[in-house]
Every structure is written in structure tokens, then in C-alpha cells.
Structure 1
């Protein structure tokens, strides 16, 4: 599980101790983020199935010069996330990207968890910040593929952009059609889901798909003797959906009417392989 907007490591450890999860043997990978609000990213994994071999955080260095500071807050966005600027250095302190490598039932996999800069100040004006995040992400992926061109890589998280935005489509180069994915390329199943009207968050009655899981080409191959991609989806069970009022049908978030879960639905993918005879 790649997780975003986490207050601290203790939150994840407490979650793993909850009665419904305790017996499943979850463990935590977490780094403190430089984000000024103190929100982090991290991973949860089941020790019985996954053994980390390395993990590292990569800082995203972006400055206010990469966006239009005059435009800040001119376009209101329903988002509590803010790109907080250091007055002296002009650096925007945002989340690191975390790379975790390990063995999934004995097979090496690489996972990157992201929470890219927000859309504060407007989508277009803040786009260079997310394009910089995508460039860092691509650099991490490229470094893994230099070592092993057949690396199985998953990059995931709240990208604050959809599958058709420049950061994902052009900078990462993620394809929405499996047939178009070349060796060393990336496949984004969120593109097909969004074309069907499925999203992970809604704003002004329009759905978008920020919470993506993008995979490398070897996971698309049809030799099922090892783990391969099968299908993707969005987990939006009824208890997670606002049932009444102005935001009926949206993700159930905390509000005046009571506690909720998140303003985003989580996305997921399935991997499959042939059973051993």
C-alpha cells in the first residue's frame, strides 16, 4: 500500500495494530517529509509476502520561480494543500518521493510513492511544479532501468494531475493503451478508467483521476510464470461515499455532519501468475 497525507510514522504503526489488521503482519516504510504542513508519504507491506531490500527518499527541489507567484490564490481550488514558500530561499517545501525495492514472494519489485505539488494558484500556473515532480520520478525510473531493463516498477500516489495532464502524459510518457507501450515504457491503466467516467475525486461535479498506479512494460508481458498486470480499479465502497446533500456521490470526507475517510478514493491493481503445480 502506498499512502499519502500521513501525519507521522506513529499513525501508520497505530493503523497496523488495529484489530482487523494486526494478524496480517503489516510493517511500515516511512520518512519525515520536508512538507511544511508535516504531511508525509509511506508504505505498508505484509511481512509474510514482501521483504524490503532497500529504501530511499528523493527530495523534490522546486522554487517559486517555477510558478507564477502573482497568481497564488487567484483561482480558488477546493484543496487544503498549499505550496508553502520559504521567504528567504524561495524553495517550495513539498513531499519527497520514496523508492522501496524488495522481494514480492521472492520476485524483485520496485515501488515509488508520490504526492506531487498541489494546484494552488490554478492548475495551469502550478503545472510546472508537477512537471518537475514527474521529471524526478522519471529520473528514478530511468536509474532502475539502466541497472535492469526488465525491472518491474510501480510508481503511485496522489499526483494532483490526471492521466491526460502534461506531467503524466508527456514528462513521464505514460501510455493508456497497452499495445503502445514499448520496452522501457510505462503503462497507465487510469486512462482507460477515466475514459469510462471513473475517477478518484470530484470537484464541481467533475471527476478526475489523481490517484494513479503506473507500471513498467515488463509487467504487461503475457508470460504468467511470474507476476504480471491483470486489471485496475477504484475502491469506492458505499460506506466511503457521501449519501446525502450537496456532495452526494463524492468521497465521504470529514465535515460538519461527522467523520469521514478522505476526499479521494484509493485506486488499486491486481497482479496474477500461474499457480505452481
Structure 2
């Protein structure tokens, strides 16, 4: 099993582990909230006025270019300590449109990865979407679907509250069929308790997607990941998705959340008022845990390298964000990326 895998790593072609005569491929799947990656152009259909040259944030083309360079540099390093490669699959949130994704993957540091883009415009009133980037040489796209989260404001004559869709991308990683769900659940604006039901509704949608995949194949390899705007022990995750914290406790059609134990240790992906939270999570199905042929889970982490971290001042230790205190700060994002390593016997 995984615990018997050695810590010494041999680099063979992609990257492989060595145990006696066995070798293992290893790849990274990751998620990153890119903190409002907007282009400077004004879209009359969305509320993006702040992120324009004449808007509140004075979002110029030079700033946009710098932001792209930073994000591409960060992405290129996620998981590379083991794989010597950028993530084979990367879920992203807070991106404005397909154009910013095209600009991102065309940054010099990412060009050799030849990322494909899975993206569908969502109805979010701010114009922010989720998407999936995938290395076309390693992940073969099968299909893309979106699932709407229908929310209504009961204080305003049941007016619909438009938010992000949940993106479901199915494809083959080295021949293994995988289903990846990218999420960005409703924020805690107005307070955690007041906004809680919105995220519970998002979890219900997510659970239905997962259950529908299990109805076709109980051993389906499913990854649901994103910025859930909730902790691993929040009702939306704990009571609706019901993932386990230990792999051995996961039943068929069950889920495993490696972030549960991280959160208990105080590990976070973003900080707010001197408190760390782990809103960014990657949750896996039973099919990615069993010691069978194909890819399976090895380990997970928060990618919080020094260059992504504020080095001084009152926010020392926090994620080095791109925008702070009303001006461009020159950083990356207010979130750290999260990742899992998947291994496969050769």
C-alpha cells in the first residue's frame, strides 16, 4: 500500500518512484483561486468596472501583464518538487473569461506545458468563472458539463441570485477515466451564518453530480475541488458530502478529504483577521484510494512557498496578494494553491 512506498524518488521520463522492481509515475492535480484575474477591457454585461484602467482599481494593461506573469510563474512550480512538471490538471477560480485563460497559458513559462482550456461562461453577476486547465499531452478531454446553482433572494420577491456554475470535466489521464468537478461556492458576505444555506445548496448540487457519476460506475475516479468558502468541518462539507478523514474508513461510493487533518493542525490556504482558514480543498472518491491498476492518491498539501508569502509588515506570513489596501501590491493571490499527487504503477 501507499505507506510502504519509499521516500527516495527516481526520475525516469516523467517522474517515477522506485520500490524494488516497481516504478511509479507521479502527477499533480491542483486548484488555485487566482484572485480576480480580469482583463482591463470593460464588459458591459458584468460588473467589472473596477478592473478597468479608469475604474477604482486602475487596472491597466501593464498591471494585467504583471499579474499574468506572476500567476504563470506560481502555477509552473506547483508540485514540481516531486514531478519536475507543472500540474497536469489545474482547477482555477476568479477568472473573468476565456481570454484571460488564453493569455495565461501563453505565458512563456507555461508554453511548453501546452495547456488546454475547459471553460464555460457562468451567470455570476461579477463575471467571475471557474475553469480547468489540462496538459493536452497527458489528459485527453472527453466532455464538459456545467450544473447551475439556483439561489433565490426571499427578501426580494424570490429574485434569482446569480452565482458560479459547477464545472464537470471528464477525461483520460494516461488512459484512466477521471471526472473533475471545479467549484467556487457562494461567499460568506453578510456573515457565515446568514450565507450558510447558499453553500449547503451548493453542496447538494455537488453531491447530486457525484452520485450520478457513481450510479454509472461505483468505482469512478472523481475529484471535487475548489474554493468552497467553507472549512472541512462546515455543515456543507461535513453533513452533505460526508467525506472521511481516514482512507480506510471510506466505503464504496464514499469520499476522502485529506484537508480535514490539515485543518485540525491549523494549516490554511488563506488568512483573515489573524485566523487561517482552509476554504480551498481537494476531495477524492474511493476509486482513487484503492491499490489497483491506474492512478491513486499519494499525498496532499498547501503550496505555500516563501515567494507566495508576504515577508514583512502586519500581514507577514499571509498569502502575498496582488491587490491590497486599494492598490496593486504586485503579488499573486490572497489564496495559496492546494494540490494532490497521484501515482500509477508503470
TM-score of the two chains, using structure 2 as the length reference: 0.72
Report the equivalent of 2:86: none
Report the equivalent of 2:243: 174
Worse-matched range after superposition: 249-258 or 176-185? 249-258
From 246, 256, 259, the equivalent of 2:330 is: 259
Report the equivalent of 1:4: 93
Matched, 1:271 2:342: yes
Give the Cα–Cα distance (whole angstroms) in 1 for the partners of residues 295 and 117 of structure 2.
Answer: 23
Matched, 1:35 2:104: no
Q: Which runs of structure 2 are paired with 1:221-240 in the superposition (5 Å)? A: 221-223=290-292, 225-240=293-308
- CA change 1:50–1:257 in 2 (3 A) is closer
Matched, 1:248 2:316: yes
Q: Which has the larger radius of gyration?
A: 2
In the TM superposition, structure 1's runs of 4+ consecutive aligned residues that sit over 3 Å from their partners are none
From 61, 83, 100, the equivalent of 2:150 is: 61
The offset of 1:185, in angstroms, is 0.4
Report the equivalent of 2:17: none
Give the Cα–Cα distance (whole angstroms) in 2 for the partners of residues 220 and 33 of structure 1.
Answer: 32
Three-state SS of the structure 2 residue aligned to 1:174 is coil
Report the equivalent of 1:74: none
| Higher RCO, Cα 8 Å, sep 6+ | 2
Report the equivalent of 1:190: 259
Report the equivalent of 1:45: 134
Give the Cα–Cα distance (whole angstroms) in 2 for the partners of residues 138 and 173 of structure 1.
Answer: 9
From 209, 234, 238, the equivalent of 2:278 is: 209
- Structure 1 portions without partners, runs of 5+: 70-86
Instruction: Tell me the alpha carbon deviations over residues 87-128 of structure 1, each in whole angstroms, 9 at most, x when there is no partner.
Output: 665211110000000111111000000000010111011100
The offset of 1:181, in angstroms, is 1.1
- CA change 1:257–1:62 in 2 (3 A) is closer
Instruction: Tell me the alpha carbon deviations over residues 113-171 of structure 1, each in whole angstroms, 9 at most, x when there is no partner.
Output: 00000101110111000000000000000000001111000000000001000000111
How many residues end up aligned between the 2 structures? 254
Give the Cα–Cα distance (whole angstroms) in 2 for the partners of residues 11 and 32 of structure 1.
Answer: 12
From 134, 157, 160, the equivalent of 2:226 is: 157
Matched, 1:17 2:17: no
The offset of 1:222, in angstroms, is 2.0
- Structure 2 portions without partners, runs of 5+: 1-89
The offset of 1:29, in angstroms, is 0.6
Instruction: Tell me the alpha carbon deviations over residues 57-87 of structure 1, each in whole angstroms, 9 at most, x when there is no partner.
Output: 111001123xxx6xxxxxxxxxxxxxxxxx6
The offset of 1:257, in angstroms, is 6.7
Give the Cα–Cα distance (whole angstroms) in 2 for the partners of residues 143 and 117 of structure 1.
Answer: 23
